[in-house]
Structure 1
Amino acid sequence: MIGSMFLSPEELVELTGRRKRDSQAQTLRAMGIEHKVRADGKVVVLRRHVEQELGAHGRAAEVEAMPDWSAA
């Protein structure tokens, strides 16, 4: 589900290294990642927050700002 405003269940496992919801929430709290627990018990994390916290936006901006020397 790339492009979704929320991380997919697979992305949550990759981020936290945990499969159980309670363990995911505990790990996210320890990492300082804001999250919510839905009424059905699923953990929800905003993709944008994770990108901001882990610095993904800054790196992408730096890469885009680099000149394309192969175009010369």
Structure 2
Amino acid sequence: MFLTAAELRELTGRIQKNAQAEALRHMGIEHKLRPDGSVAVLRAHVERSLGLNEAVKNMKTIEPNWSAL
């Protein structure tokens, strides 16, 4: 549901929470700050923002030619 701390560091290239939030704002990725100062980012929003849903939708399913057997 949410990105892990490691995924958030990888996505933003930042370690500090404030720097992560700034990077997310710059990328246009919605996020919330938790009461402890950590950053919460929905995995689905990141996938949508980076075009994963479009890539999956455009994929064609390849099936074997069963009639050739």
With the length of structure 2 as denominator, give the TM-score of the two structures: 0.86
Q: Secondary structure at the match of 1:12?
A: helix
Query: What pairs with 1:1-72 in structure 2 (closer than 5 Å)?
Result: 5-63=1-59, 66-69=60-63, 71-72=64-65
Residues matched between the structures, number: 65
CA distance in 2, matches of 1:56, 1:7: 15
Q: CA deviation at 1:39?
A: 0.4
Q: Which runs of 5+ in 2 are unaligned?
A: none
Q: Which runs of 5+ in 1 are unaligned?
A: none
Q: Which runs of 4+ in 1 moved over 3 A?
A: none
Give me the CA root mean square deviation: 1.1
With the length of structure 1 as denominator, give the TM-score of the two structures: 0.83
Identity over aligned pairs, percent: 49
CA offsets 1:30-58 (integer angstroms, 9 cap, x no match): 11111011001110001111111111111
Rg comparison, structure with higher value: 2
